[in-house]
Amino acid sequence: MSGAAVDAQPEVASSQAKIIDGNAIAKEIRTSLSKSIEELHAQAPTFHPPHLVILQLGSSPASTTYIRMKLKAAEESGMTVQHIKVESDDESGEPKGTGVKKVLELVRHANADEKVSGILVQLPLEGAGKAEEKSVVDSVSVSKDVDGFHPENIGLLTSRISEPYFTPCTPAGVIKLIESTGFDLAGSSAVVLGRSDIVGTPVCALLRKKDATVTQCHSRTKNLEDIVRSADVVIAAIGQAEFVRGEWLKPGAIVIDVGTNYIPDASKKSGQRLVGDVHYESASKVASYITPVPGGVGPMTVAMLMHNTFEAAKRTWSTRRERKLVPLPLKMLEKVPSDIEIAVAQEPKLVATVAEEMGVQADELESYGRFKAKIELSVLDRLKDKLDGKYIVVAGITPTPLGEGKSTTTIGLAQALGAHLQKNAIACVRQPSQGPTFGVKGGAAGGGYSQVIPMTEFNLHLTGDIHAVAAANNLLAAAIDARMFHEFTQKDKALFDRLCPKKKGKRSFAKPMLARLKRLGIDKVDPEQLTEEEQSRFARLDIDPATITWNRVLDVNDRYLRAITVGQAPTEKGFTRQTAFDIAVASEVMAVLALSKDVADMRARLGRMVVASSKAGEPITAEDIGCAGAMAVLMKDAIKPTLMQTLEGTPVFVHAGPFANIAHGNSSIIADRIALKLAGIEKGDDASRSGYVITEAGFGADIGMEKFCNIKTRVSGLRPNAVVLVATIRALKMHGGGPAVTPGKPLDAVYTEEHLDLLEKGCANLGKHIENAKKFGLKVVVAINRFAHDTVPEMELVQKYALSVGADYAVPANHWARGGEGAVDLAEAVIKACEDESQFKFLYDLNLPLVQKMEIIAKEMYGADGVSLSPEAQAEVERYERQGYGGLPICMAKTALSLSDDPSKKGVPTGFTLPIRNVRLSAGASFVYPLVGDMSTMPGLTTRPGFYDIDLNPETGDIEGLF
């Protein structure tokens, strides 16, 4: 025998083997684990105690006993345990296989729950076959398989170049027991009796990794006694009571008895006694060390389960903190191609990959193809304890009709933060309307090398949210006209009978009818108990057609629907009225979608939308009409944000698309809330780890940013950290007196050549927007969006001016031509701006009268001397305040092309009074919108719309000509 082998020899037994006390060693392990958990939590407050889920099928007394031991061990180790017991098919009376299906579903949920460190399926599964047991064991995530039974863990155990996630508990306990004797396994001879996947085979693998020479035996092994007698270490896991005798052993051998067998014993109350696979009395006289049964391997199995669960918790915590984003590289050309050429040249990541990288779990994702998906709102419940990330709103100066690149800046900034500065960054943008897409303005996916992809899907149907908005809106419009028709053609009694027909001799109220009764002050739930007068009040809405504010919508620019007549068919019996179509994104349903906090809030908002007044002056709501619930059903998927990605693979939420002049022009509160949680950190974590959410506000800051601050943040309760104001040399030259900028016409030479005097005059518009942002207590970062013809002196002039009038930072940005790389300086300025706590404040108190709130906005935001209301507008204000809507915020509907009401007045107009020709109510969206000047809610098509260039390649199926 070699020298190494001699060194490895166990000591020769004297007369009695030393007992390896598994209980004592297991207790030491549990105490050590408890201390380690406490120490780690003290060092890292975001590390929480490990959580183990134990699943049991059936009521086996033996399983229940084992589980009780594990629960106690977990408590002593400083862990938490959830024991979930599922009735077997025999217990529940369910069809065969039902119990296994329930266990599989519980495993799936536990796999997805990041709070679960480890999953243990207690075997055997009562009533299940071997194949079913295997399917359940295999379904446990390998990263949570603390039992070590997953095939991948078993397979890795035998590998010489890699390690399993977890070592099976009993084999790991066996090795710990051997090592507790001080014996060196290297070069020793070990015999393992048993070849099960749970003990025998894994023990052999572990012994080999300790450089022992291993012989594995089983029931058919020949010359078994001789083989055992040659072993320095014997591990018995063969499942036969007292099978190994003392005379089989080599003197001084170490004996580890894994067996658990019951033999008759009349002296015991139970009539039986627990013994191992080794005849303890004879073996203990030959061996140097031996494990007792019970009290040997059993406690160690449970202890190693606790050890594995702790390791799983540490690994999960560490993995959760790792940055997972893998950016997509950009192949940029000096001459920037068209948007669509850039977009189709980039191969997006699968949306499931984007979701995983940002921390969305598989069961929180509803895929719509390979590259876009809906996010389930349940993610908010899972992340409710996280702190929010930093919140940045992107706005701009008063734009030219061509737009100044707010969407492009939003995406470029997200790419810079996420792909280049390794920050957790999520962009939140609105879904574009197909009206502008096929008209003049174009899409809203950004541009150049800062885009949302796939760009074609983004700018077209996407996941159908706008169609859902249109369907819900038009259902209500149809219901309004139908209700008026039926009231027009029926007497009160017949109307009531048709609204509450007898079914099997009994009448009942529908859910919205009960809501209407409550609003009327009628405290009755049985239709038969209403008096004739109450029946009439309930059934007859008595809508005044002149007060109807609800139009039909469609997502197309169609100028000929700005005024229409409905009801001209002879079947409508002469009941006609004047009405109109709006574009879908101007619908209050869209504003409701954007401002809803959850499904219940959306349902309530839809119900309280006011569509008209009765002839008595009472507001008529969608709930009164009776279709708010059906509208909510149409919107049930639209309320979920859509996940997409930028050209550089950073995540983007696309959700809602309310008009920025008629409505508040911001993406949804729900998308922002989910993004802020995903970008946030856990309590106690280092603040420098916080991520960033970049949300865009439509049009100039006097519209989009003002409404973001005074409307959206009031509803959401969220507080922005900073505003990015996008400015361009082109727009500032226009405000300095440059010629008109018109879509479809070439730019005047003044915009493509250096003109510092003109630029300096126009900077006043930027100064006004900086001043406005400061009134909300926001840090201001000016992004000077660079175009190809802008010169260095022009950029420096704007930068110097912005800083001189109060901007916290002013940074040139070239993200259109350089992607995220071109916005790194901007991103670093945003990071600095967000270091301090938000000092955000509102512009006005909601309790002020409506007209006074209008005046504050007009004076503070636009620089007007005041407001002037038409008689009609004044009457509407008085009516809304009388109806109880005076406490709502104001959503000014005015041109985006000037700080004033006149689009031709550029720069910073003064000496004007803001004319308000009418005032409308969006009770569901919870704002009042004054109409300033002539505002259209249905755009028209130009002589040469964009659809001329859009086509489908018949050979490849690719979209061509879209931007």
pLDDT tens string 636-681: 999 999 999 999 999 999 999 998 777 899 999 999 999 999 999 9
Q: Return the half-sphere exposure (C-beta side, CA atoms, 13 A cut-off) of residue 608.
A: 19
Nearest to 707 by CA among 922, 465, 443, 415: 922
Of 200 and 321, the structure prediction assigns the larger pLDDT to 200
Exposure pattern of 323-348 as b/e (b: 16+ CB <10 Å)?
eebebbebebeeebeebbebbbebeb
Torsion over CA: 549, 551, 555, 560 (sign): negative
- One-character DSSP codes across 486-502: HHHHS-HHHHHHHHS--
CA distance 355 to 372: 10
CA distance 831 to 722: 10
pLDDT at 393: 98
Taking residues 573-592, report their average pLDDT.
Answer: 93
Exposure pattern of 637-655 as b/e (b: 16+ CB <10 Å)?
ebbbbbbbbbbbbbbbbbb
Q: Tokens for 215, please give them.
A: 């012989």
Taking residues 712-734, report their average pLDDT.
Answer: 97
Q: How confident is the model at residue 442 (pLDDT cuts 50, 70, 90)?
A: low
Cβ pair 923, 426 in contact under 8 A: no
CA distance 606 to 628: 6
pLDDT at 11: 52
CA distance 612 to 108: 50
Location of structure tokens 């809106």: 473
Alpha-carbon torsion angle 676, 682, 688, 689, nearest 10: -70
Q: How confident is the model at residue 223 (pLDDT cuts 50, 70, 90)?
A: very high
> Of all helices (H) and strands (E), which one includes residue 90?
helix 89-92
Cβ pair 641, 373 in contact under 8 A: no
CA distance 385 to 909: 47
CA angle 800–806–809, rounded 5-degree value: 60
Q: Tokens for 605, please give them.
A: 């908002």
Helix (H, G, I), strand (E, B) or coil at 273: strand
Torsion over CA: 441, 443, 445, 448 (sign): negative
What's the chain's average pLDDT? 92
Is the per-residue pLDDT at 496 higher than 60? yes
pLDDT at 145: 94
Q: pLDDT tens digits for 586-633?
A: 999 999 999 999 999 999 999 999 999 999 999 999 999 999 999 999
Is the per-residue pLDDT at 305 higher than 80? yes
Q: Tokens for 338, please give them.
A: 């068209």
Q: Tokens for 367, please give them.
A: 């895929």
DSSP-derived pairing of the beta strands 189-193 and 254-257? unpaired
CA distance 352 to 348: 11
Q: Domains plus CATH for the chain?
A: 364-463+638-726+735-748+779-791+810-822 (3.40.50.300), 466-635 (3.30.1510.10), 850-931 (3.10.410.10)
Is the per-residue pLDDT at 48 higher than 90? no
Q: pLDDT tens digits for 87-96?
A: 998 888 899 9
pLDDT at 320: 81
Is the per-residue pLDDT at 7 higher than 50? no
Taking residues 682-707, report their average pLDDT.
Answer: 92
Q: pLDDT tens digits for 841-870?
A: 999 999 999 999 999 999 999 999 999 999
pLDDT at 323: 75
Q: Tokens for 792, please give them.
A: 């260095």
Backbone phi, psi, residue 578, to 5°: -85, 135
DSSP-derived pairing of the beta strands 425-429 and 692-696? parallel
Is the per-residue pLDDT at 10 higher than 80? no
Q: Cβ atoms within 10 A of the Cβ of 137, count? A: 18
Contacts of 899 (CB under 8 A, 6+ apart): 398, 700, 702, 765, 768, 861, 862, 863, 905, 908, 909
Helix (H, G, I), strand (E, B) or coil at 906: coil
Cβ pair 277, 258 in contact under 8 A: yes
Taking residues 578-583, report their average pLDDT.
Answer: 93
Q: How confident is the model at residue 40 (pLDDT cuts 50, 70, 90)?
A: very high
Cβ pair 200, 216 in contact under 8 A: yes
Q: How confident is the model at residue 504 (pLDDT cuts 50, 70, 90)?
A: confident
Nearest to 829 by CA among 421, 450, 445: 421
Q: Tokens for 173, please give them.
A: 């306990």
**Residue 832 bears catalytic tag:** no
Return the beta strands (E) in 269-424 as ranges: 272-275, 289-290, 365-367, 373-375, 390-396
Q: How confident is the model at residue 915 (pLDDT cuts 50, 70, 90)?
A: very high
pLDDT at 318: 87
CA distance 373 to 327: 19
CA distance 857 to 848: 12
* Terminal-to-terminal C-alpha distance of the chain: 82
pLDDT at 935: 75
> Of all helices (H) and strands (E), which one includes residue 472?
helix 465-489
pLDDT at 441: 53
Phi-psi domain of 521 (left: phi exceeds 0; alpha: psi -120 through 50; beta: other) = left
pLDDT at 693: 98
- Which residue is catalytic, options 18, 27, 35, 70? 70
Contacts of 338 (CB under 8 A, 6+ apart): 963
Cβ pair 234, 254 in contact under 8 A: yes
Q: Return the half-sphere exposure (C-beta side, CA atoms, 13 A cut-off) of residue 186.
A: 5
Nearest to 722 by CA among 751, 754, 692: 692
**Which amino acid appears at position 688 of this protein?**
S
CA distance 438 to 445: 14
CA angle 367–373–376, rounded 5-degree value: 95
CA distance 667 to 428: 7
Q: Return the half-sphere exposure (C-beta side, CA atoms, 13 A cut-off) of residue 930.
A: 30
DSSP-derived pairing of the beta strands 866-869 and 913-922? parallel
